[in-house]
Structure 1
Amino acid sequence: MSASTVLLLLQLQLLASLVSASHHWGGTMNYAYKGRNPDGSFKMVLRGKDTYDSCSNYHSWNCYTGNCGSVTSRKITTIDLSTNTPFYKSQWCETENVETWRVPSDKPFQLRVASCCWITTRNSVSDWRLESLVDLGTRSDTGEPNRSPDIAVLPFIRVPQNCPRTYKMAVFDADGDEVMCRYGNLQGIECDVCSLPSGFSLDSDSCTLRYQSTSADSSIFAFEMVVEDFARNRIDLSYSDGSKMSKSPLLSRGKTEGYTAGVYAGTLPAATVSPTSWGGAEPSYNTTAGNPPSPGTTSFAQNRNGSPLSKLPLQFAFLVDPVVPSCQEGQYLPQLVAPTPAEGERILAEVNKEVEIRVKAQATHSSIQSIVISGPTNITKHKDTNNEFVIRWTPVPDDLGEHYPVCFAVESVSGSSVYQSEMRCVLVEIRKKQIEATVTCTESTMKVEVKKASFFGLEEDHLQLNDPSNTICSLDRLSNSTHIVAIIPLNECGTQIEEDDDYLIFKNEITTVEDDPNEIITRKHLVEARFYCQYPKRGNVTLNFSAHRKNVTVWEKGFGTFTYQFEFYQDDQFEAMFDPNSYPLEFDIGNRIYMQLDASSSVNNTEMFVESCRAAPYDNPNYHPTYSIIENGCAVDSTVQTYPTSNERLFQFSMEAFKFIGLHDQVYISCTVMMCEAGNPNTRCSQGCMNSTWSHFSSRRKRETVVQSGKHLVSQGPLRLRRGADPSRGTELNLNPNLVFVVGCLFAAVGMVCGVLLYKTKTSRVKYQSLPSYEN
């Protein structure tokens, strides 16, 4: 082998080694005082978020100055994984490393971590350098040990090169200190290349990063930022050895060469922190021309004096993508819409109770695909059948009193292009248990028991479930002197249903209601207790939920008590009803299914109207999507036939049986019905079929004269395709292609999970499609 060949091989091996070592994407860190140990030492929890190309790596923090103590426990969990990193790049994984430290003294010390190498960066950052200042001294203003700011950012941010965008870093300080975000300036300690990349500006006072303009590149920018907090007034820090240290606030800002100044938009003093935001304001700029900072500048005035109480690293990767045809949100770039929480919104959570954050985005020229998140340990993300992303997290007792920022951005795709929405961050505040409640899940019901003494603002006469119209949904039925008690069927009382890859989740709530439903304001305490049951989609299918559905009894003012009956019949004479014990009913494709809805009431001169009927894999009106049979009183399916009757409270109709495609072959038919004063031309019943959704009659209903009831849901089923001979033998089937659809999984009757939600805070989908022609 020649010398040149050996040299080439050595070069290739060295290059391969460097490439494999390039695996760092960024990281953050904060700390929290957790009391004293039995031996008098101090307990501190360090939370480090580390992003690498593998979920097995994490930063190993080392003591640099002071008496740091040692790590007594460590737990590493995965927070999020990359989904849309370019194919030519390694994938990223963000983990959180939660370490418990035993610290001999509460005096300040410094931690550092440094190594090689960042992934390939366009701003020449190679080694990572992170430093933290920890000070657990007791503050003279709060009487408590000093706390570091809570900070967060997405590990990977991207934007098209032609779309300026603003990014608000998530910073919150429970002590009410002034928080500053600057670019690292101590080379080899805080940063490797200590200069803000060209095309960006940073307002340190508001912790706002602005992307303005630069070229697209397949390599990322590595951002090496530092977060510090400063006392707003002069304070003393006292230590266990009897010593003290004074901390001064930052001086009034002024113009400094190479920097611009701004109005701080971070936290407020602890007693006046805004409950719905970071306490922020739009930054103003103090430059000679009065203009925003130019690209590549930062607004931290280093000569403002004052020494920080804490110092934390904030490092992340930023990718500039090629030009997009339009920068308008909602076209290519996803636009965040309701129920997505606002930037900086504060979400209240309780120990051992799951908190939920719902995120939704829309885009007309790209397809919504995924969500990127950053948050505390054990946070999860899901996409439900309503195309909403659901972020869930359950605080543990050790989280009590803490504040955790949660950041997210939705990603969409169009061809090979990936687009990211704006980054939003919210703050989760963990409080003590507010409402004492127990939820018990069975195969077909949820039982909730709420201790009245714990229900703040309780007015028993003004509480109800989501839909109390059915008498079974009344909270008065089972409640006693000490507890509000309700047993709620999974398909009644306004129970909402959600579905993701693994679970079916049934939710309801107890909430305040006004005496007059037409009122649009209230002066009563607004209270809400959400609860849910979660069922895995594996295991044995419940029998109770597959049984013949009972009649629905409703009480309504002006109509008294009336009962709806929904049954299936064997032919168009509607005399031979199917035995309730024979459910689920089985049909051959092409058979006609005969159905009858009947309303009985002690009030004369009333008529029934069937507003809609739909098919769904679950006996729940809130499952989406469903297959429409009748809408707005009009037959939507082409095979629907109705039959005239002399009884105005009787509705008979039929349709052709349909085939089920997918894992399960059951379906329920649910209809929305209402009662009206017979013969009154001003009721919905008298209007019959209407092409658009009807709404104006409800607003015209007079309080003094009740002419029609509300809408009520009745359902029946399940139906099932009869398993017959092998279809390959050529049996002729008269299949209605409009009624062919895929159904989701039925929930399991084992492994049920219960919970209570106290604050508003890959999906298995149902699709409807025609079969190929050879199956007809």
Structure 2
Amino acid sequence: MSSQTCWWSRALILSVFLMIPLCKASLLVAIINTEPLDGNSAEVRAHFSVIAPLPCPSLLNSVCNDGNSSCIAHAVPSPQQGGQPSPGWCVRQWQKTIPSQHSSSITLGSDVGVVLSTRADLSTRKDTRKVNQSPFSALIPPIRVNTNCSRDIPLSVYDLDSDRVRCRYARDDLGECHGNCPQHAFLLLDEASCILRYKGGASEGQYSVKLMVEDFPVPTPFVQMEEKAFSSNPIFLSIIVENKSPDCSALPVFVDESPDANAIISVLPYDEVKLNVTIRSEAESVLEMAIAGPPSLYISPLQNAQESEKSVSLAWVRGPNDFSRLLSICFTANTESVQSEIRCIWLQQRPMNDLPAGTELSCANNTMSLVLPISTMTDLPLDDLQLNDPSCAIFHNTTHVTTNFSLSSCGTRTVHYGSALVYTNTLRSTGVPTPITRRPMLILPLACQITEGQVEGPRYKITMPKEEKVFGKVSFWLEFHRPGEGPLGNLTRTATFRRYSREARVAVKEVNRLEQLDLYVFSNSSVTRAQLLMQGCMESETEDFSGASPIVENSCKRDNKSLEILVQTPQIKVYRLNLAQIKTVGDTMFVECTVSLCVTTQVTDKCPGPCDPVDPNVLVTSFLSSNYTVRSGPVLLLEREVETTTAPTTTTPPTTTTAAPTTTTATTTVATTAANTTASSASKRSSSLAAGLIIVVFPLVFLCLLH
């Protein structure tokens, strides 16, 4: 039998048909990553990631409809989406265990398909004495290039065995093309660095390319191995060539704290990864940040950072999942004419070994307790063990390690994972092992979980604390002052505004008559760490607010009607109103603001910013109150003393409290009414934690160098 025949006898061959309609744009990106199964299996777990054009195809009854019980469709409520190229795109992901010599015809919403092949050598390697790990390819967002501008497109790849990774075009003679392997004169592939180079000169249109990613052994003088690929995994790309005459040298660039390309972040169970990506574009405004990542990746709306800069915040919590050990997050910025470089980072889900028999983690009331047998942990440096907070005590004798700590101490973190509330800490060794001592290291994630759903054993209802328990007695009011007057007159006289575009600032430079007025929003929560959050303000010429129009929108949208003045007091917000842009006919107006309060669970954490949405699927270390509506009395807009309305403060359910008008000097104090009494959008910790605890213990990582 020839060596080539032996290769195919040991290889896993998979042909996948990815289908989309002819009436829609063709598939944009598709990758398949594979992982060997535990044991001596002749199967692999294949992870499929596809970027398809809108409307987003459904995974329901489409990718797991062949009776394969191992198939898992990673359906999410809101798939990751982008708008460029038109008509937009979305990410779809699923996985399936595939036997060797297997082929699948998968329909994803239509009749037109792209055939992809992958193969993995499942024999034991000579150098590592283990089954090979296939290389991973990152799912990059759709690629846009301009007909006249050259461009390098890096294909981010990674290999857990530290093999040499190369990329090549798919070959028909190896059964990888299935009659369709287009190659284009305007594309060059650097096989060693896996960089696809667009030389320019292509006509406007959409072009596809099929590539294979392969891993090769690293030469070593101790083990002689044949120079051939262990495995091959596919990448399918559609390249959109546009003709919009941009400045080829003026691409958007990533700045500040944006992650470096190909950075690797190690993630333990219930760790949260937080990233900020900032892009600067001098020539054109950035329309979107196109991002492709794992399911449940939180992506904030595009925010204004500084002039010519925009940013997004990303967050991902590692909960229980069936994803691959390596997960990519790739991002690029799109303007009307150009696209920035594409960057990718990798999240490595660290594997956990089995816990020693007799390990116990228990949660009672507001504490977490651990009993860890150490009979199987020879030479474990017991004096070097610590929790997140090194000052917390760890006890040990010749047989066990024990610790007991409060859920609010020792560096314990709070994670919101879906509807569950999880308290996490980590017991770990702090010493650095060396080849001389070969001492092992311990990394043991600890987690106690609270859920409102049904759990094994009795059913429990987790009761959330009343709002007054969190925020104390609450009241709100509004005041209006001329710039440079009022309780913060020294600050507003030389105000520092939240950074907006130059156009927005110019609108409030000139002061004539009463063209400017400062709106103060106050809260007097008895909790000193409570922060005031603004949902927005409306103005109306009538007290019933018919025909009202916004003057402060979400506390972050810039326009010519208002600018936020930055103050240091967390329970006060101040806005400079440009009355020249508020088109009132009469001499008075009424103002209504929607507000809420926020308290973080830890002093070092921050409440959501003025443009940050609250996503319950992401780590949220804060409590939010209900939304409250605050209305002013009539605000006089003429250059004289202002008649104002004063009313007693109330926090009762939705009612309006009215009081007779009184006369003061340029100040309006108004009533507070509860706009709604629904539960907060962030979960709150129960006062009786023992009633609903589910104990979740993740296995430890027992590392020994040179093992």
SS in structure 1 at match of 2:89: coil
Name the counterpart of 1:49.
49
Mapped to 2, the partners of 1:745 and 1:455 lie a distance apart of: 48
The change in CA–CA distance for 1:86 and 1:735 in structure 2 (over 3 A counts) is same
- Counterpart of 1:94? 92
Q: 1:475 aligns with which of 383, 392, 395?
A: 392
- Aligned counterpart for 2:274 among listed residues 343, 348, 358: 358
- Residues 26, 50 of structure 1: 8 Å contact kept: yes
Q: Which structure would you say has the larger Rg?
A: 1
CA distance in 1, matches of 2:253, 2:526: 35
- Residue 5 of structure 1 is matched in structure 2 by none
User: Deviation per CA, 1:193-232, whole angstroms, max 9, x where unpaired?
Assistant: 5344444331112222234545684x44322101233445
Paired position in structure 2 for 1:226: 212
- 1:351-381 deviations in Å (ceiling 9; x for gaps): xx23443321113455696562345xxx420
Pairing 1:203–2:201 present: no
TM-score of the aligned structures, taking structure 2 as reference length: 0.52
CA distance in structure 1 between the aligned counterparts of 2:569 and 2:248, rounded to whole angstroms: 42
Give the alignment partner of residue 239 of structure 2, picking from 301, 304, 318.
318
Partner of 1:722: 650
Query: Please, which moves more after superposition, 500-509 or 20-29?
Result: 500-509
State the TM-score, normalizing by the size of structure 1. Answer: 0.48
Q: Does 1:186 align with 2:172?
A: yes
Q: How many residues align?
A: 502
Counterpart code for 1:543: P
Contact 2:278 2:312 in 1 (8 A): no
Whether contact under 8 Å (1:507, 1:530) holds in the other structure is yes
In the other structure, the counterpart of 2:511 is none
> Structure 2 unaligned runs (5+)?
1-19, 302-310, 432-438, 454-460, 480-521, 535-554, 556-563, 576-590, 605-622, 629-648, 687-691, 702-707
- Contact 2:626 / 2:680 at 8 angstroms: preserved in 1? no
Distance 1:361 1:355 in 2: 20
Deviation at residue 432 of structure 1 after TM alignment: 2.6
Which of 392, 400, 424 pairs up with 2:344?
424
SS in 1 for 2:266: strand
Report deviation, 1:55.
3.5
Supply the distance in 2 between the matched residues of 1:510 and 1:462 (Cα, whole angstroms).
7
- Residue 469 of structure 2 is matched in structure 1 by 547
Whether 1:74 aligns to 2:42 is no
Give, in angstroms, the shift of residue 486 of structure 1.
Answer: 1.3
- Conservation of the 8 A alpha-carbon contact between 2:298 and 2:314: yes
Give the residue type in structure 1 aligned to 2:96. Answer: V
Paired with 1:624 and 1:316, the residues of 2 have a C-alpha distance of: 47
Deviation at 1:389, TM superposition (A): 0.6
CA contact (8 A) 1:45 1:99 kept: yes
* 1:164 maps onto 2:84 in alignment: no
Instruction: Specify the SS of the correspondent of 2:39.
Output: strand
Residues 1:746 and 1:50: Cα distance change in structure 2 (over 3 Å) = closer
Contact 2:141 2:330 in 1 (8 A): no
SS in 1 for 2:215: strand
> Does the 8 Å CA contact 1:449/1:486 hold for their aligned counterparts?
no
Change (3 A) 1:247 1:588: closer
Q: Which residue of 2 aligns with 1:584?
A: 472
Following the alignment from structure 1 to structure 2, what is the Cα–Cα distance between the partners of residues 741 and 318?
53
1:316 aligns to what SS in structure 2?
Answer: strand
Q: For 1:383 and 1:754, locate their aligned partners in 2 and report how far apart those are by CA, in whole Å.
A: 30
User: By how many angstroms is 1:487 displaced?
Assistant: 0.6
Answer yes or no: is the 8 Å Cα contact 1:535–1:748 preserved in 2: no
Decide whether the 8 Å contact of 1:434 with 1:455 is kept in 2: no
Where 1:96 maps in the other structure, the secondary structure is: strand
Q: Distance in 2 between matches of 1:209 and 1:510?
A: 44
396, 410, 421: which is aligned to 2:331?
Answer: 410
Find 1:381's aligned residue among 297, 313, 316.
297
Report percent identity of matched pairs: 14
Asked if the contact 2:474/2:525 (under 8 Å) is kept, the reply is no
Q: Report 1:257-406 matches (<5 A).
A: 307-320=228-241, 322=244, 332-335=252-255, 337=257, 340=259, 343-345=262-264, 347=266, 349=268, 353-365=269-281, 366=285, 372-375=291-294, 379-383=295-299, 388-394=313-319, 404-406=325-327
Of the candidates 20, 23, 30, which is equivalent to residue 26 of structure 1? 30
Asked if the contact 2:139/2:328 (under 8 Å) is kept, the reply is: yes
Q: Distance in 2 between matches of 1:669 and 1:52?
A: 40
> Partner letter of residue 22 of structure 2?
L
Residue aligned with 2:82, SS: coil
Decide whether the 8 Å contact of 1:111 with 1:133 is kept in 2: no
Amino acid at match of 1:98: K
CA 1:94/1:585 → structure 2, altered by over 3 Å: closer, same or farther? closer
* Distance in 2 separating the partners of 1:59 and 1:635: 51
What letter matches 2:465 in structure 1? Answer: L
Partner AA of 1:487 in structure 2: S
Matched residue SS, 2:22:
helix
The offset of 1:182, in angstroms, is 0.2
CA distance in 2, matches of 1:172, 1:115: 30
Report if aligned partners of 1:502, 1:537 keep a CA contact under 8 Å in 2. yes
CA 617–73 in structure 1, closer or farther in 2 if over 3 Å, else same: farther
Where do 1:438-449 residues align within 5 Å? 438=361, 440=363, 447=368, 449=370
Does the aligned pair in 2 maintain the 1:660–1:741 contact within 8 Å?
no
Matched with 2:121 is: 135
In 2, Cα distance between equivalents of 1:197 and 1:666: 56
Contact persistence 1:542–1:749 (CA under 8 A): yes
Q: Taking structure 1 as reference, are residues 319 and 111 closer, same or farther at Cα in structure 2, changes over 3 Å only? A: same
Q: Distance in 1 between matches of 2:603 and 2:266?
A: 37
Q: Quick one: distance in 2 between partners of 1:346 and 1:373?
A: 17
Q: Which amino acid aligns with 1:221?
A: Y
Instruction: Give, in angstroms, the shift of residue 589 of structure 1.
Output: 3.2
AA aligned to 1:130 is L
Match of 1:486 in 2: 405
**Contact map agreement 2:214 2:232 (CA 8 A) in 1:** yes
Q: Give secondary structure in 2 for the equivalent of 1:547.
A: helix
C-alpha contact (below 8 Å) 1:540/1:748 kept by paired residues: no
**Match for 1:482: what amino acid?**
V
Change (3 A) 1:83 1:117: closer
| C-alpha distance 30-86 of structure 1, shift in aligned 2 (>3 A) | same
Measure how far apart 1:129 and its partner are.
3.0
